[in-house]
Amino acid sequence: MAGYKSIWVFLEQNEGVLEEVSLEVLGKASELASKVGAEVTGILLGHNVKRLADEAIKRGAESIILADSPVLENYMTETYTEVIAGLVKERNPDAFIFGATNNGVDLAGRLAVRLGAGLIAHVVELELEEETGLLLGSVPGFGGSILAVCKCVKGRPQMVTVRPGIFRALPPDESRKGRIEEVQVRLKPEDIKTRIVEKKVGKAIDISKAEKVVIGGVGTGGDLSLIKRLAELIGGEVGVTRPLSDQGIAPRDIMVGATGVGLSSKLAIVAGVSGAAHFLSGIDKVENVIAINTDPDANIFNHADYCVVGDLFKIMPELIKRIESLKG
């Protein structure tokens, strides 16, 4: 077995809030660390974010390395790579795991080359290889229908990015204690070549944890009014397939599938969706799938619990009417 001393987790924060996927990664890292006797260390960069270090400890980190500086307030490739590469070179962690958000991927890809480390991307399964103790990450390819099981055969740390919504975060444990070590940041503003000239962030919609989701596909013709109304009535969220998101009809935050969000809901009502492989991986964890499609041979019916062959523009208004009257 490879000896592990430490597993690092990148604690991504935006606007002073920890990303959910970072907590999910902490949960997974704790599980792996307990098997190999390693310590889980959270790597936290930002400005005035010390309270997030406390939060991460309650969610599974045993220690935190904190770099707190005004130049680190917003994620930037240059500054974050510089600071984190310095820490890795100094302390040599055995593994380093990131959430596969846009920023997590931007950072991990750059760091891997700077550090000469192997990187396994967007994993949906993560375990230890019995013979060697190396991390085995399963990476979905070809739209999610095939998994490639990968490992880092040389270079350290073993780097991994993890798809959001796959692993479970630990519930907060108020009694947990951990070390917080603050490190000096030597970056000077004048050394930084890039700058953020504008930033607009609304409340990020996270439909990955929603209990009910109504999803519209190409069959809606881009008209999501029925989808939205039904979602509202059943207290659920709206999702879309990739073509609708690509056409700019809906934001990527609510795009379901291999390159978007993976759902974990109890119920998904899927209307006008053909069922491409890259979409199906996004609803695989849904407990109950109802599909409505005009084409009886649509692939979505091979992956639904209840199948309705018919026109969504006829069926959904009827359904909406019935639920409205039900609710009075």
Quote the least distance from Cβ 187 to another protein, whole Å.
15
Strand duo 125-128 + 135-141: pairing: antiparallel
**For another protein, which is the closer residue by CB, 129 or 173?**
129
The helix (H) or strand (E) run that includes residue 112 is helix 102-115
Q: Does 229 bind another protein (CB under 8 A)?
A: no
Dist CA 247 CA 292 (whole Å): 22
Task: Tell the smallest beta-carbon distance from residue 50 to another protein (Å).
Answer: 22
Q: Is 292 exposed, middle or buried (0-12, 13-18, 19+ CB in 10 A)?
A: buried
Please, which residues bridge with residue 145 across strands? none
Q: Which of 69, 285, 294, 313 binds another protein (CB under 8 A)?
A: 285
Measuring CA to CA, how many Å separate 226 from each of 119, 123, 201?
Answer: 43, 35, 27
DSSP state of 257: S
Stretch that binds another protein, among 51-59, 173-181, 220-228, 284-292 (CB under 8 A): 284-292
User: Closest CB to another protein among 37 and 155?
Assistant: 155
**By the rule CB under 8 A, 183 interacts with another protein:** no
Cβ 283 vs Cβ 263: under 8 Å: yes
Give dist(CA 268, CA 215) in Å, integer: 7
Q: By rule CB under 8 A, what string of x and - marks binding of each residue 50-89 to another protein?
A: ------------------------xxxxx--x--------
Residue 315 CB, nearest distance to another protein (Å)?
Answer: 7
Q: Which is nearer to another protein, 177 or 200 (CB)?
A: 200
Q: Are 226 and 220 in contact (CB under 8 A)?
A: yes
- Under rule CB under 8 A, how many of the chain's residues touch another protein? 102
Determine which residue in the list 153, 175, 189, 328 makes contact with another protein, applying CB under 8 A.
153
Q: Is 148 in the site for another protein (CB under 8 A)?
A: yes
Dig out the tokens for 154 from the structure: 């040389």
* Greatest CA separation for the chain: 65
Letter for the amino acid at 95?
A
DSSP at 154: S
Decide if residue 19 touches another protein (CB under 8 A): yes
- Of these, 27, 60, 93, 118, which contacts another protein (CB under 8 A)? 118
Per-position x/- string for 242-281, each x denoting binding to another protein as judged by CB under 8 A, each - no binding: x--xxx----xx----xx------xx-x------xxx-xx
Told to check if 92 binds another protein by CB under 8 A, we report: no
Interaction of residue 290 with another protein, rule CB under 8 A: yes
SS3 27: helix
Min separation Cβ 112 and another protein, Å: 7
List 28, 58, 59, 122, residue binding another protein (CB under 8 A): 122
CA distance 129 to 146: 20
Q: Is position 186 an interface residue for another protein (rule: CB under 8 A)?
A: no
- Pick the binder of another protein from 151, 176, 183, 313 (CB under 8 A): 151
Which of 48, 302 has the CB closer to another protein?
Answer: 302
The whole-angstrom separation of Cα 301 and Cα 227 is: 19
User: Do the beta carbons of residue 107 and residue 99 sit within 8 Å?
Assistant: no
Question: Which token pair is 52?
Answer: 């997030």
Q: Is residue 187 involved in binding another protein (CB under 8 A)?
A: no
The nearer residue to another protein, 42 or 164, going by C-beta atoms, is 164
Lookup: tokens for 286 = 């849904």
